[in-house]
Chains A and B, each alone.
Chain A
Amino acid sequence: MIVADKKPIEEIIDTVKDFRNILILGCNECVTVCEAGGKKEVGLLASALRMYFLQQGHEVNIGERTLERQCDHEYLEEIRDIIDQYDAVVSIACGVGVQFTAEKYHSKPVYPGVNTLFMGANEARGVWTERCQGCGQCILAVTGSICPVSRCAKRILNGPCGGSAAGKCEINKDVDCAWQLIIDRLKALGRLEEYESICPLKDWSSDRAGGPRKVVREDLKL
């Protein structure tokens, strides 16, 4: 899922302090699971903003709404009848949701309420770690299902490098060396000979380096 973290309330307040009708817009998908932008967080942010503005002596109307998703037209349409009641929207969905809401409601300022971080997994309660960078050319089949693109600091495809020590990366002793993980996993799978084959040059044009990406599925298009 897409992992995000809450922005400090002070930062959000500073962004919306001049508006008098503000809609806090949550998303029921990834940001709900990582407890950064779901219905509950909408309630918390709205409550904090209401109390802050009341203290400041400003009469500010704070609306709360959580959509099933903010990255789909049909769900964003659900706020069409109420959007005109607000001067600004604070979207606490991921960056995709913020942008899609802004595209949909062109004349309405939409501000982000979370920092979108990465595509990751929920390792333990309150712990999320990066697993995928969406490079567009998945090589997990030959790396024991452990991604060197997202989990190796250098993104090297034939590792480990000289910075690997005792299974940890030189950038931080708490970070596992992805290539050590790959070797351990291939060994456990009895496929260590695959490690011996040199990974060819990767086509990075499908990665972010090739500019904004797009998927067009003719089989699905209407």
Chain B
Amino acid sequence: MRLSYPTSIKIIRVPCTGKVDTLHIMRAFEKGADGVYVVGCREGDCHFNSGNFRAKKRVEQAKEILDSIGIGGNRVRMCNLSSSDGPLFVKYAAEMHDCICAAGPNPIKLAARKKATTEAGSTLAASG
């Protein structure tokens, strides 16, 4: 099919979306990810029966936490598709890319940069 999707997206493979924990999503944001979306099998098609349903709940948990700390729950979402559905994968990737472009960079990344610049400035001042 040779479909392309936005280059800003980094794929992390897991054996099943049921492996993805809320903590993994939170850590991604702590490390500066602008958004996280979990792409699981279609509902009812999980090889392990409930992996994608568990993932969906965990995404909701992450959404709630991110909203409560001012990062924005809209930066995380759950998508479902069949593993052979390339066009839908591309569609979800583009939607997520647009959503994140609209939301702007992760405020944590900006805050961390600001902190690093301030620290570098004060170190410079101290040595100068």
Asked if residues A57 and B115 are in contact (CB atoms below 8 Å), the reply is yes
For B27, the chain A residues whose CB sits under 8 A away are: 47
Looking at the assembled complex, report how far the CB atom of B112 sits from the nearest CB atom of chain A, in whole angstroms.
Answer: 6
With both beta carbons as reference points, the residue of chain B lying nearest to A13 in the complex is identified as: B69
Contact B69 A40 (CB under 8 A): no
A55 and B107 in contact (CB under 8 A), knowing A8-B68, A50-B30? yes
Judged by DSSP, the binding face of A is helix
Asked if B22 and A55 make an inter-chain contact with CB atoms under 8 angstroms apart, the answer reads no
- Min CB–CB distance A160 → chain B (angstroms): 37
The prevalent SS among residues of B at the interface is helix
Closest partner residue, chain A, to B109 (CB atom): A54
Given A40-B21, A43-B23, A44-B23, decide whether A54 and B68 contact each other with a Cβ distance below 8 A.
no
Residue of chain A at shortest CB distance from B50: A125
* Contact residues of B between 19 and 46, Cβ < 8 Å to A: 21-23, 26-27, 29-30
Interface of chain B residues 59 through 75 with chain A (CB within 8 A)? 61, 65, 68-71
Tell me, yes or no, whether A9 is within 8 Å of chain B by CB. Answer: yes
Contact A51 B108 (CB under 8 A): yes
Per the CB 8 Å criterion, the residue count for chain A at the interface is: 16
Query: A194 at interface (Cβ–Cβ under 8 A)?
Result: no
- Bound together, the chains give a CA A44 to CA B68 distance in angstroms of 13
CA distance A44 to B24 in the complex (A): 9
The interface bits of chain B over 92-115 (1 if a CB of A lies within 8 angstroms of the residue's CB, else 0) are 000000000000000110011011
**In the complex the two chains form, is A51's CB within 8 Å of B68's CB?**
no
A51-B23 in contact (CB<8A)? no
A182-215 near B? 1/0 per residue, CB < 8 Å: 0000000000000000000000000000000000
Q: Cβ of A40: which chain B residues have Cβ within 8 Å of it?
A: 21-23
Q: Which of A42-75 contact B (CB under 8 A)?
A: 43-44, 47-48, 50-52, 54-55, 57, 59
Judge whether A219 is part of the interface by a CB distance below 8 angstroms.
no
**B65 — nearest CB in chain A belongs to which residue?**
A48
**Docked complex Cα distance between A43 and B108 (Å):** 17
Q: Does the CB pair A54–B112 fall under 8 Å? A: yes
Report the minimum CB–CB distance from A105 to chain B (whole Å).
Answer: 27
Judge whether B111 and A48 touch: CB under 8 Å: no
Q: B115 to A47, Cβ gap below 8 A?
A: no
- Please name all residues of chain A whose beta carbon is closer than 8 Å to the beta carbon of B65 when the two chains form the complex: 9, 44, 48
The chain B residue sitting closest to A39, CB to CB, is: B23
Q: In the complex, A59 Cα to B119 Cα: how many Å? A: 11
In the complex the two chains form, what is the Cα distance from A51 to B30 in whole Å?
6
Interface assignment of A174: CB less than 8 Å from any CB of chain B? no
- Give complex CA distance A9, B62 in Å: 12
Alpha-carbon gap, A54 to B27, bound state (A)? 14
List residues of chain A with CB within 8 A of the CB of B107.
55
The chain B residues found within 8 Å of chain A, CB to CB, are: 21-23, 26-27, 29-30, 61, 65, 68-71, 107-108, 111-112, 114-115
- List 7 A-B residue pairs with CB atoms under 8 Å apart, sorted by A's residue number: A9-B69, A44-B22, A48-B26, A51-B29, A54-B108, A57-B111, A57-B115
